[in-house]
Amino acid sequence: MAVAKPKGKESTKGLIVVFTGNGKGKTTAALGLAFRALGHEHRVCIIQFIKGSWQYGELEAAKIFKPLLDFHVMGRGFTWKSDDLEKDKAAAREAWEFAAQTIRENRHELVILDELTYLPHYQIIDEEEILAVLRDKPAAMHIAITGRYASEALIELADLVTEMREIKHPFHNGVKAQRGMEF
């Protein structure tokens, strides 16, 4: 199969892409971006802010792409129990500081901040702190952010925003999550 390389002068402007909304496919779309970028032999870093939201399949697939793909499971999964909340917040802060550092180090063409939006939404991280890092990102770096509740300010800053709207979900019909699909 003949495949043409993309035409035209390659731009160096990296995009900020947001996948938000209540529907399925936000993290999945970010994974698809990673898949594409890895096909270009771009270096990709995925930082997962909510522990446990990624499953066996993608973690195994991620191994296939080493060393191009760095994958970091941060955070704790947000128990929202009062005795654990402070630990959750500390883990979230540590994850964000790691992400900010990763962006500044500029070793990747694409950085995926999976479910980052929950941190400002639940006031664990001041959103202005996040926006400041995004505004100062390396010019050529693409950053993809997923999660519900993307704020107006984040949408304003982003280059491309898609809202995933749930039209129909199998859990409504009593179907359990399927291995290999993992919705």
Write out the binding residues for a copy of itself, residues 51-110 only, by CB under 8 A: 55-62, 64-65, 71, 73, 109-110
Q: Which of 26, 54, 109, 117 is catalytic?
A: 26
Please choose, from the candidates 1, 15, 11, the residue with its C-alpha nearest in 3D space to the C-alpha of residue 144.
Answer: 15
Q: What does the alpha-carbon distance between residue 105 and residue 102 come to, in Å, rounded to a whole number?
A: 5
Smallest distance, a copy of itself to C-beta of residue 78, A: 18
| 5 included as an active-site residue | no
Among 94, 105, 136, 166, binds a copy of itself (CB under 8 A): 166
Smallest distance, a copy of itself to C-beta of residue 137, A: 14
Give, rounded to a whole angstrom, the gap between the first and last alpha carbons of the chain.
Answer: 33
Among residues 54 and 124, whose Cβ is nearest to a copy of itself? 54
- Sorted by sequence, the CB contacts under 8 Å of residue 32 that are 6+ apart come out as none
Q: Which of 89, 115, 117, 146 is catalytic?
A: 115
The one-letter amino acid at 109: E
Q: Which of 78, 89, 109, 146 is catalytic?
A: 78
Site for a copy of itself in 18-37 (CB under 8 A): 18-21, 23-25, 27-37
Give the burial class of 28: count Cβ atoms within 10 A of its Cβ; 0-12 exposed, 13-18 middle, 19 or more buried.
Answer: middle
Q: Which of 41, 60, 80, 152 is catalytic?
A: 80
Q: What does the alpha-carbon distance between residue 134 and residue 111 come to, in Å, rounded to a whole number?
A: 11
- Pair 155, 122: CB distance under 8 Å: no
Q: Is residue 39 at the binding interface for a copy of itself, with CB under 8 A as the rule?
A: yes
Report the catalytic residues.
22, 24, 26-28, 36, 78, 80, 115
